[in-house]
Amino acid sequence: MIHQYKVDDRLIHGMVYMTWFPKYNINRAVIVDDNIVNNETRKMSLRLGMPQSAKLVIWSVEKAAEKILAGVDKGSNVMVIVNSPVWLKGLQDRGVEIKEVCCGNCSDNGKDSVQVSGTLYASKADLEAYKAMVAKGVRFYRQTTPEVAPEELNEKLKNM
């Protein structure tokens, strides 16, 4: 079962596997990214950052949607991680039901990004994806660790 959809530009890092993985007993992480899927060096470095207790797969939006809709998560505790909400919107556009998304860190890209909250920045494309998904009823919240109270983001995102 998919326990969490997460937007974090660091993808796999200590806070994810030290706090979120144990919270949901994650044994499979799915990174969805049409760019990383074709970058062998990046894929290898992400795999090196994974704890041995969980498996990592890196899929394109198309393949991830196909696998999720086919029930690949049955029998596993899954976290889907993206570095941009654009990839999640791609999943949603292909029929994947997404009810809520936890947002972590997304750095200021120095070009067209705006600060949403704290260390969460969004580019113009990210904002378009966030707003489209909010309009379809997806709940976005910012939460750095499970122990910290979530900050609701939908109203902020609607008004940006």
Encode pLDDT of 100-119 as tens digits: 999 999 998 878 899 999 99
pLDDT score of 110: 77
What is the tally of structural domains in the chain?
Answer: 1
Q: Round to whole Å and give the CA distance between 160 and 157.
A: 5
- The burial class, CB within 10 Å (0-12 / 13-18 / 19+), for 50 is middle
pLDDT score of 142: 97
Q: CATH no. for residue 20? A: 3.40.35.10
Structural domain for 27, as ranges: 2-158
pLDDT tens-place string over residues 115-144:
999 999 999 999 999 999 999 999 999 998
pLDDT score of 131: 98
Dihedrals φ, ψ of 105, to 5°?
-95, 135
pLDDT score of 55: 94
pLDDT < 50 positions in the chain:
none
DSSP 110: S
pLDDT score of 14: 85
Taking the mean position of all CA atoms in its chain, how far away is CA 155? 20
Whether the CB-CB separation of 117 and 153 falls below 8 Å is answered with yes
